[in-house]
């Protein structure tokens, strides 16, 4: 469990909150580059860390990310004209460049210098790994981009998708570092077989032993299960949780990948999934399979405060119980819900928009979740005392890989020495 006070610290990321300040020390993935496909294309509405923003690609191809509300009389710049290196508000024609300067104010007399006194909030952006990133913190503390392998491979070797999840970001993050659920939530079985028997069939047994080694980027996390005919070997899933909200899924071959779960606000996540092959371009089949499994539709979404975001909704969502099929649940899969991602979302969204963690009873398999919470809360509190997060300014820390491995070793430290630390670092 977590006290209500600490749960608030953990889950609130709006302006001026401790966790909001911590997130604002990192680059934030805000959209796919393809959402702004060409210079002067239509702008998009985004909500990031509870701030309403508009992103646009200017005539030079650079991406601007500005306040949604025009500083004249607060009309939305989403309706603006994206023209000649600036976004022009259609209410009275004020125009802003990607740095937030007002470059034209046709409604004022020509001799007026009022436009030089008006700025709109604008955040720096970068494109990296098919994703648009923004930095929303103090200008003099601009960090480094996390040098993930997936973002550094050629575009042809990678695909990234984005969608909206209706919950606080931490529920989704916790799902990523919860190795124990894999044997249950994502399992299938034969008709007639008892579902719980299926979980323990074969060589890969149910309850994992978890070991965590904290690092500057977050932690590396080994889940060991007995393997082999006589249980004399160990099946390891070794993965990382990276500050503030990244995961890598343990997979040794295609699709390598993971997720980023960043708050639109405290009750909605902009979720990204990245998949890549470090050795070769993705095939057409891999690409189309990756896209079709989600059935994500571009749409708009009205948030509780009345603001609207341009976003991606899944066909399977909480309103239709993720298209759960009770017959399939009886006969073939633990959930009756198709697709691992939907199964995860059904669980992490079903906790409510912000989970009441006072009502939890955490067990031995929740060790990684406890560690991540403690680390984030501590870092948020430290930042209020002036202690800056190391990971934000050390992009190289993010050059790691996860691995899935069967080995004779059973001790995590031995395992890391023998395979882990070297195997998980990338050039």
Applying CB under 6 A, which residues contact ligand FES?
70, 72-73, 75, 89, 91-94
Tell the residue number behind the tokens 């995590």, with chain if given. Answer: 412
Rounded to 5 degrees, φ, ψ at 262 are -115, 140
67 binds, among Fe ion, ligand FES, none (CB under 5 to 8 A by kind): none
Q: Please report how many Cα atoms fall inside a 13 Å half-sphere around the Cα of residue 160, on the Cβ side.
A: 25
Tell me which residue has its CB nearest to Fe ion: 344
Number of helical (H) and strand (E) elements in the chain, helices listed first: 12, 21
Name the residue nearer to ligand FES (CB basis): 19 or 77. Answer: 77
Name the residue nearer to ligand FES (CB basis): 92 or 213. Answer: 92
* Dist CA 68 CA 54 (whole Å): 5
344 binds, among ligand FES, Fe ion, none (CB under 5 to 8 A by kind): Fe ion
213 binds, among ligand FES, Fe ion, none (CB under 5 to 8 A by kind): none
At its nearest, how many Å lie between ligand FES and the CB of residue 303?
A: 22
Indicate whether 67 belongs to the interface with Fe ion (CB under 5 A). Answer: no
Give the number of residues written for the chain.
Answer: 427
Bond prior to 244 in cis (omega within 30° of 0): yes
Rounded to 5 degrees, φ, ψ at 274 are -115, 140
At its nearest, how many Å lie between ligand FES and the CB of residue 114?
A: 12
At its nearest, how many Å lie between Fe ion and the CB of residue 217?
A: 22
Residue 54 vs residues 82, 115, 279: alpha-carbon distances, Å: 11, 20, 36
* Dist CA 247 CA 356 (whole Å): 23
Name the residue nearer to ligand FES (CB basis): 99 or 315. Answer: 99
Tell the residue number behind the tokens 């993050």, with chain if given. Answer: 173
Name the residue nearer to Fe ion (CB basis): 267 or 344. Answer: 344
Name the residue nearer to Fe ion (CB basis): 46 or 223. Answer: 223
391 binds, among Fe ion, ligand FES, none (CB under 5 to 8 A by kind): none
At its nearest, how many Å lie between ligand FES and the CB of residue 56?
A: 15
From residue 291 to residue 330, what is the string marking binding to Fe ion with x (rule CB under 5 A)? ----------------------------------------
For the chain, the C-alpha Rg in angstroms (whole number) is 23
At its nearest, how many Å lie between ligand FES and the CB of residue 93?
A: 6
Q: What angle do CA 175, 150, 311 make, to 5 degrees?
A: 60
**Quick one: DSSP state of residue 146?**
P
* Dist CA 36 CA 63 (whole Å): 8
Selected binder of Fe ion within 97, 174, 273, 344 (CB under 5 A): 344
At its nearest, how many Å lie between ligand FES and the CB of residue 75?
A: 4
Residue 158 vs residues 145, 164, 254, 255, 275: alpha-carbon distances, Å: 18, 21, 11, 10, 6
134 binds, among Fe ion, ligand FES, none (CB under 5 to 8 A by kind): none
From 35-43, 119-127, 328-336, 344-352, span contacting Fe ion (CB under 5 A): 344-352
Residue 374's nearest CA partner among 4, 5, 8, 10 is 10
Name the residue nearer to ligand FES (CB basis): 202 or 306. Answer: 306
92 binds, among Fe ion, ligand FES, none (CB under 5 to 8 A by kind): ligand FES
* Contact footprint for Fe ion (CB under 5 A): 344
């Amino acid at each position: 469990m977590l006290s209500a006070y600490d749960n608030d610290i953990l889950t609130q990321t709006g302006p001026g909150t401790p966790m909001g300040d911590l997130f604002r020390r990192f680059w934030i993935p805000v959209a796919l580059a393809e959402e702004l496909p060409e210079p002067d294309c239509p702008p998009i509405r985004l909500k990031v860390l509870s701030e309403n923003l508009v992103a646009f690609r200017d005539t030079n191809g650079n991406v601007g990310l500005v306040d949604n509300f025009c500083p004249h009389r607060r009309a939305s710049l989403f309706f603006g004209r994206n023209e000649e290196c600036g976004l022009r508000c259609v209410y009275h024609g004020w125009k802003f460049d990607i740095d937030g300067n007002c470059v034209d104010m046709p409604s004022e007399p020509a001799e007026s210098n009022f436009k030089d006194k008006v700025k709109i909030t604008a955040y720096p952006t970068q494109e990296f790994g098919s994703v648009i990133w923004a930095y929303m913190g103090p200008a003099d503390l601009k960090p480094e981009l996390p040098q993930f392998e997936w973002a550094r491979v050629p575009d042809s070797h990678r695909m990234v998708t984005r969608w909206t999840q209706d919950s606080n970001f931490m529920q989704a993050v916790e799902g990523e570092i919860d190795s124990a659920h894999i044997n249950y939530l994502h399992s299938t079985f034969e008709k007639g077989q008892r579902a719980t028997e299926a979980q323990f069939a074969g060589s890969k047994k149910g309850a994992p032993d978890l070991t965590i080694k904290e690092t500057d980027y977050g932690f590396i996390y080994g889940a060991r299960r007995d393997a082999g005919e006589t249980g004399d070997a160990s099946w390891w899933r070794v993965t990382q949780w990276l500050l503030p909200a990244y995961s890598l899924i343990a997979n040794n071959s295609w699709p390598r990948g993971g997720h980023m779960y960043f708050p639109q606000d405290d009750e909605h996540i902009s979720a990204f999934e990245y998949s890549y092959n470090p050795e070769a371009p993705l095939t057409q089949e891999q690409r189309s399979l990756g896209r079709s499994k989600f059935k994500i539709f571009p749409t708009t979404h009205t948030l509780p405060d009345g603001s609207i975001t341009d976003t991606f909704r899944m066909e399977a969502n909480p309103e239709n119980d993720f298209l759960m099929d009770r017959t399939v649940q009886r006969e073939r899969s633990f959930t009756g819900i198709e697709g691992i991602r939907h199964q995860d979302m059904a669980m992490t969204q079903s906790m409510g928009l912000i989970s009441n963690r006072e009502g939890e009873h955490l067990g031995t398999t929740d060790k990684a979740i406890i560690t991540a919470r403690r680390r984030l809360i501590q870092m948020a509190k430290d930042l209020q005392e002036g202690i800056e997060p190391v990971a934000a300014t050390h992009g190289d820390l993010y050059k790691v890989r996860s691995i899935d491995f069967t080995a004779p070793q059973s001790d995590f430290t031995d395992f890391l020495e023998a395979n882990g630390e070297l195997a998980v670092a990338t050039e």
